[in-house]
């Protein structure tokens, strides 16, 4: 019999994960929860679910459910992860894992005392050309990750300091995860500049930072919502090694590979990821193996952003890996 999942948070990403599961064998979304009852019922009706409810604890404790998808605003992620793991449910949690280091660590404790697995949803790791970049330059010296969006409205929840944390935190954890993934190493420290320039909620809206990694590589991170530049596109990545480089533009869907003395090569890819991360989650549950992206990855991504914020305040480099080890 296939695995049965429950969704908490029937919004944009809840829809994406439910529809990704419909394209895969092995797991079906059967229960739908949301603080807004109509949304839960609408999803249950649309996707052939068994029920929709505002009582999320009912889904978490439902013995006929194997896994919980957490697709709510960021301030509820940690609590929902912990309650689900303590009820023995596998968890797929949308990024960021949580908004504070304490919350990330509390989720880590719940993972340790549970036999269930937790996967943090970082779909960009599955982009074809991110994989290609790692294959072409497995040991980069320098990595540049830029994610610049058009201005986010002040009133959306993602710009709320409590519910969302702002563009730099909300989307920046994707960028930081990719920087660490492509660098192939954990970050020792970060030095950042930037801050709150215009969002009325006071969140950090634009930032540039440098990470030093344990393998001696360096990562440069640019994140914000002052404008999405047409030349690079919203997502842009470069990695350099001696005598070669990769440049990913066009939302990471065009990769240009350059090697000294050779004609540049161009590769095309697509924005894959949601189906692939769900396939990997199902596989990990079925084979009882660790998920490919876990709570430690979630912790690192959140910490990379939060310590960059710390550096904005202190004016100094701030540690990362030593905090995780401690």
| Residues that bind ligand NAD in the complex, under the rule CB under 6 A | 8-14, 33-36, 39, 56, 71-74, 76, 94-95, 121, 123, 170
Give dist(CA 193, CA 209) in Å, integer.
6
Residue 192 or 301: the one with the smaller Cβ distance to ligand NAD is: 301
Which position has the token pair 């937790």?
118
The span from the CA of 184 to the CA of 154, in Å, is 35
Task: Provide the β-strand partners of residue 144.
Answer: 220, 238
* CB-facing half-sphere around the CA of 201: CA atoms within 13 A: 19
3-class secondary structure, 126: helix
In the bound state with ligand NAD, the residue whose beta carbon lies nearer, of 12 and 315, is 12
Whose Cβ is closer to ligand NAD: residue 69's or residue 191's?
A: 69
| Shorter beta-carbon distance to ligand NAD: residue 228 or 258 | 228
The contacts of residue 1 (CB under 8 Å, 6+ apart) are none
Nearer to ligand NAD, 11 or 161 (CB): 11
Question: How many CB atoms are located within 10 Å of the residue 198 CB?
Answer: 10
For residues 35 and 218, which CB has a smaller minimum distance to ligand NAD in the complex? 35
Q: How far is the CB of 160 from ligand NAD (least distance, A)?
A: 11
Q: Cβ of residue 146: shortest distance to ligand NAD, in angstroms?
A: 17
**Radius of gyration (C-alpha) of the chain in whole angstroms:** 20
Q: Provide, rounded to whole angstroms, the least separation between the CB of residue 38 and ligand NAD.
A: 10
Both structure tokens of 311: 């550096």
Task: Report the residue number, 3 or 35, with the smaller CB distance to ligand NAD.
Answer: 35
Least distance (Å) between residue 241 CB and ligand NAD: 28
What is the Cα–Cα distance from 105 to 128, expressed in whole angstroms? Answer: 31
Q: Please list the alpha-helical segments (H only) found in the chain.
A: 12-22, 37-46, 56-61, 77-86, 101-113, 128-136, 167-170, 172-183, 274-287, 295-314, 321-325
35 versus 87: smaller Cβ distance to ligand NAD: 35
**Least distance (Å) from ligand NAD to the CB of residue 163?**
8
- Choose between 18 and 217: whose C-beta lies nearer to ligand NAD: 18
Q: Is residue 140 a contact partner of residue 236, using CB atoms and an 8 Å limit?
A: no
Nearest-angstrom CA–CA distance, 311 and 50:
48
Closest residue to ligand NAD, judged by C-beta, is: 11
- What span, in angstroms and rounded, lies between the C-alpha atoms of 51 and 70? 17
Q: Which residues contact 196 (CB under 8 A, 6 or more apart)?
A: 202, 203, 204, 205
């Amino acid at each position: 019999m296939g695995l049965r999942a429950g969704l908490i948070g029937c919004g944009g990403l809840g829809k994406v994960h439910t529809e990704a599961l419909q394209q895969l064998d092995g797991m079906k979304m059967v229960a739908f929860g949301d603080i807004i009852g109509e949304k839960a019922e609408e999803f249950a009706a649309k996707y052939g679910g068994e029920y929709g409810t505002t009582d999320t604890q009912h889904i978490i404790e439902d013995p006929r459910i194997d896994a919980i998808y957490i697709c709510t605003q960021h301030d509820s992620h940690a609590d929902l992860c912990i309650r689900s793991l303590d009820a023995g449910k596998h968890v797929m949690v949308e990024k960021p894992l949580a908004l504070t280091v304490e919350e990330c660590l509390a989720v880590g404790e719940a993972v340790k005392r549970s036999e269930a697995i937790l996967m943090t949803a970082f779909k960009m790791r599955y982009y074809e050309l991110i994989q290609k970049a790692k294959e072409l330059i497995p040991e980069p010296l320098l990595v540049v990750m830029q994610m610049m969006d058009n201005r986010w409205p002040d009133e959306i929840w993602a710009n709320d300091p409590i519910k969302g944390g702002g563009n730099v935190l909300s989307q920046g954890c994707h960028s930081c995860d990719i920087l660490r993934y492509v660098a192939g190493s954990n970050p020792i420290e970060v030095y950042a500049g930037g801050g709150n320039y215009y969002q009325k909620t006071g969140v950090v809206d634009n930032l540039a930072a440098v990470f030093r990694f344990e393998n001696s590589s360096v990562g440069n991170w640019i994140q914000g919502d002052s404008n999405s530049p047409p030349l690079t596109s919203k997502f842009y990545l470069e990695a350099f090694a001696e005598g070669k480089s990769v440049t990913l533009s066009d939302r990471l869907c065009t990769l240009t590979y350059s090697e000294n003395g050779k004609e540049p090569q161009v590769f095309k890819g697509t924005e894959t990821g949601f189906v692939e991360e769900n396939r990997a989650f199902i596989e990990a549950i079925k084979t009882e193996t660790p998920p490919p992206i876990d709570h430690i990855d979630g912790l690192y991504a959140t910490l990379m952003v939060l310590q960059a914020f710390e550096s904005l305040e202190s004016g100094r480099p701030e540690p990362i890996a030593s905090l995780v080890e401690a």
